[in-house]
Chains A and B, each alone.
Chain A
């Protein structure tokens, strides 16, 4: 039972179930279209998520459609007060996408310094960062390229040497 075939047998039963066909409907549509935020807001949001998680040795947040994740998740998951805070925050940073990179960083730094002291529901930066990180690091690109992800690790090895430049596990 420990061979790969057996694992796949466990998997194939699920693949055969009806539920798997339902996944990735809203999220996989291309070209992407926002359902909650306006085009202007999405441009601002796209800039903000990339300021938080820019391209490094792995793609930037926008390349993983993190702003589209936020477009769906904020109205569905955030408490009403947080939703208001978020929309007001986007408005106050509107146009940031047209500024020079160093000005963008300075603007978000100033906002972070102010917002970090506030309670979550009234802190635009805290909400933005929370949803950006969940959206990116649990996306396929974030989990498998920025981090290390194994769907079925095959067991547990508790004490291994860390390899040079090894990425952290996504989950």
Chain B
């Protein structure tokens, strides 16, 4: 029994980071056990809604009252409907305490949220890695762009991404397939920006969606139904890309329905020796052992496992000598933006459903210094011509009405800023060890608020959005600045940050727990700040880098 429970490596979680850890460790020859708390989701076979027409889905894809009761938080997500709800958790089973309002969108299944993500993959730059140090905010990142750059290359070559290299220092050059095409209105805006601005550009987003075939995958078929799972493997997911690569080596053991309760720490060796697992269905407890453990359970859940791993040596959670474990929670904020319409280009249309956005890269606090706030934001840009939904809210009906709304309407555009949030020490997660769920896991408490810096930035986001759409000569320009509930951008980050000093950080520059050299944490919990760019690509790159480091150390007998 003990022998069959012993592996070279254990990876906790099978999402964006876990899939990469599995692939890299397996390919380097380690017998690797991947533990996933949720059910198995087999690539393609289990994408049960992927090719359904709207009329084949219950209630033409509208959520029901019963759905909203079962998933009161998940059902507020923009992509929630009858075709995607199976990839989001049952909120009644997985309750957490909101000390401050926090929307926690979770996908507990093999592949995790790599099935659901919005697929934007920009690199961070030294503008991001140096910001904390230069401004005296939080602590310094222990790495710089040169440390991660080869690993961005490594990841991009494998996942396949498309987009446009704008040649801007804040968006380092990437390995990209040609981008998806702009619409007539987007081309118009691009031209107007070139006339009106020196610091603002409209580009095609870097996106982990294939515009060309890549390693037998894709290309994208223009269905824009990614979150149902892609039968063409045209977007990157663990299920479709990294887990199959890990499987191919013969070194992977994937166990779904295995909830990791805590890590087993050996005082004498000063190492973790394995993990304690609860079977999600039978509630039976089992231990698994390995030389090295990678935590990739998502930011809040990896931190939960560490906080729940208490011993005489680590009474406040494994690796928590600094007291920083659970602290410095971040998410982006996206409340500021603008909408507009345009009455021209009525003779232009498009074919297919593009699953990507256009993008306006960050231009604030790049070469100049803002008075009102630190850091910056980029915009996602969505445009199209009106469809039948434009007629829903009007008082009109009848034959003329039907004829009108069954033809393409005017062009409209929606742009939404994605802003950086500073790391505040008291934005945090902590556990109530006296309140256990059915699996014996303590209740998670989450408290996060945005502060003055984010509020000032959001106002500028809204103002800039309107100014840019006016400059592009669009019509009916309206800015918005609506409040955002933290967690809503689904980029929860921090709570086990990297750093140079064990006194102020949980992980070192190799994602290694300072005091426990054979334990690595490579999901969003390692983040030290929250750069404007979408973070998943960086999780993947640092996971691959940490796996390489771990295997080299193992070979030399230094773990």
For residue A29, CB closer than 8 A to chain B, the reply is no
A-B contact pairs, 10 of them (CB 8 A): A7-B221, A13-B231, A76-B65, A112-B395, A112-B396, A133-B389, A138-B55, A140-B53, A161-B348, A168-B388
A33-41, A49-57, A88-96: which lies at the B interface? Answer: A49-57
4 additional contacts, CB 8 Å, given A151-B53, A156-B352? A13-B45, A112-B397, A153-B353, A168-B408
Given contacts A77-B64, A153-B351, A160-B350, contact A166 B407 (CB under 8 A): yes
Residue contact A168 to B409, C-beta cutoff 8 Å: yes
Contact check, A108 vs B397: say whether CB atoms are below 8 A apart: yes
Identify the 10 closest CB pairs spanning chains A and B, nearest first.
Answer: A158-B181, A153-B352, A19-B48, A156-B352, A10-B231, A138-B54, A153-B222, A138-B60, A52-B397, A116-B395
Question: Please, how many angstroms separate the alpha-carbon atoms of A166 and B50 in the complex?
Answer: 27
Q: Given A13, A20, A147, which contacts B388 in the complex, CB threshold below 8 Å? A: A147
Which label, helix, strand, loop or mixed, suits the secondary structure of the B interface?
A: loop
B-chain residues with CB within 8 Å of residue A122 when the two chains form the complex: none
Does B223 lie within 8 Å of A14, measured CB to CB?
no
B2 interfacial by beta-carbon distance below 8 Å: no
Contact of A135 among B60, B184, B395 (CB under 8 A): B60
Using an 8 Å CB-CB cutoff, how does the interface string of A150-170 with B read, 1 for contact, 0 for none? 111111111111100111111
User: Interface size for chain B: under 10, 10 to 19, 20 to 34, or 35 or more residues?
Assistant: 35 or more
- A158–B358 Cα gap in the complex (Å)? 12
Q: For this complex, into which size category does the number of interface residues on chain A fall?
A: 35 or more
> Is A134 close to B, CB under 8 A?
yes
Contacts of B216 in A (CB 8 A): 1
- Indicate if B99 sits at the interface (CB-CB under 8 A): no
Contact between B45 and A17 (Cβ–Cβ < 8 Å)? yes
B468 to chain A, nearest CB (A): 20
- B contact set with A: CB distance below 8 Å: 44-66, 180-184, 186-187, 213, 216-223, 231-232, 346-354, 385-389, 391-399, 401-403, 405-409
Q: B65 and A77: CB pair below 8 A?
A: yes
Determine the distance from Cα of A152 to Cα of B181 in the docked complex, in whole angstroms: 18
Which residue on B lies nearest to A163, using beta carbons? B349
From B54, B221, B352, B386, A168 is in contact (CB under 8 Å) with B386
A146 lies within 8 A of chain B by Cβ: yes
Distance of B266 from chain A, by nearest CB (Å): 45
- Residues of the B chain whose Cβ atoms lie less than 8 Å from the Cβ of A147: 387-388, 406
- The answer to whether B388 touches A126, judged by C-beta atoms less than 8 angstroms apart, is no
> In the complex, are the beta carbons of B393 and A126 less than 8 A apart?
yes
* Pairwise interchain contact A52-B398, C-beta atoms closer than 8 A: yes
- In residues 1-46 of chain A, which contact B (Cβ within 8 Å)? 1-2, 7, 10-11, 13-14, 17, 19-20, 23-24, 27
